[in-house]
Amino acid sequence: MSETAQADPVPAAAPEAAPLLEVRDIGKYFGSVIALQGVSTQVAPGQVCCVLGDNGAGKSTLIKILSGVHQQDTGEYLIDGEPIRLANPRAALDRGIATVYQDLAMVPLMPIWRNFFLGSEPTKGRGPLRRLDVAKARDITRRELAGMGIDIRDPDQPVGTLSGGERQSVAIARAVHFGARVLILDEPTSALGVKQAGVVLRYIAQARDRGLAVVFITHNPHHAYPVGDRFVLLKRGRSLGDFAKSEVGLPELTRLMAGGAELEELSHELEREPQA
């Protein structure tokens, strides 16, 4: 279904295109914990927005608001310029927003193909005879995973028995398959081999070229910089800035992400004293 949904090829990567997703001064509290405060950014169709920041900076919290898992406590969330409050992830999926969650959102005891289509199962038949189209589901699962360079042995294998990278690949293939307008990826390459990480970056570029808006979270500036159009930097729940690619270079980005001086200090610490 995702192959057919990209009806209007948007003029490529036009920064002036109207934003598809936008957050203004958004904030989220968990009891007394302020997980996110005053963060603003936007992403247009055909653009990749990278969200960067330390562990616990609030990246996952931000994308969980975008994908309907959490609701914002302050600020505004706009889709196509309209203020909105997504009641649940279903509401986001219905708007073509698909997400790869950091915890992957998989049910370990269920087979790969059931996980792949969970919540969006293909059916055949009508009325009370409406039932799963198992053959189609198995087939698409196998095909989409093969496209990622993952050759699954058997779509009936429980997800809990897959390797970490295989599991991550299933989650990514699923989001790519169902993301018709927006693709959100929360550290999708953390468990992947070099080859598969490359495939994911290529997928992100392809989705962008098809006119999807992409939100990409990563700790790796070498992954973020080549595909990103803009970079949002979070620290302790607040925004350190929202840069267009033209405003920042790779070394600058790396320094910002690592907290510059701290990294130099670390490399001093780690270096071995030359033995006499």
Partner 1 sequence: MATATAAPVDERIKNLGVTRQLLARPEIGALLGAVVVFAFFAVQSSVFRSGAGVANWLDPASTLGIMAIPVALLMIGGEFDLSAGVMVGTVGLTIGLLTGQYGMNTWGALVIALALALALGFFNGYLVVRTKLPSFIITLGTFLMLQGLNLGVTKAVTDTVQADAIDTAPAYRPAYDIFASTVSVGGVEFRVTILWWIALTALATWVLLRTRFGNWIFSVGGNVQAARSVGVPAARTKVVLFMTTAAGAWLVGTMSALRLTSIQANTGIGEELIYIVAAVIGGCLLTGGFGSAVGASLGALIFGMVQQGIVYLGWDSDWFKFFLGAMLLLAVFTNQFVRRLAEESRR
Residues interacting with ligand ATP, by CB under 6 A? Answer: 30, 33, 35, 53, 55-61, 102
Is residue 139 part of the contact set for partner 1 (CB under 8 A)?
yes
Residue of the chain from 90, 222, 247, 260 that contacts partner 1 (CB under 8 A) = 90
Is residue 164 part of the contact set for partner 1 (CB under 8 A)?
no
Interaction mask 47-86, Mg ion, x per CB under 5 A = -------------x--------------------------
Shortest spacing between CB 109 and Mg ion, in angstroms = 25
The residue range among 11-19, 41-49, 104-112, 227-235 that interacts with partner 1, by the rule CB under 8 A, is 104-112
Residue of the chain from 102, 141, 169, 239 that contacts Mg ion (CB under 5 A) = 102
Q: What tokens appear for 134 in the block?
A: 């198992």
Largest CA distance in the chain: 82
**Which residue number, 116 or 225, has a Cβ lying nearer to partner 1?**
116
| Residues in contact with partner 1 by the rule CB under 8 A | 67, 69, 88-90, 93, 99, 101, 103-110, 114, 117-121, 123, 130-132, 134, 138-139, 142-143, 151, 153-154, 156-158, 160-161, 174
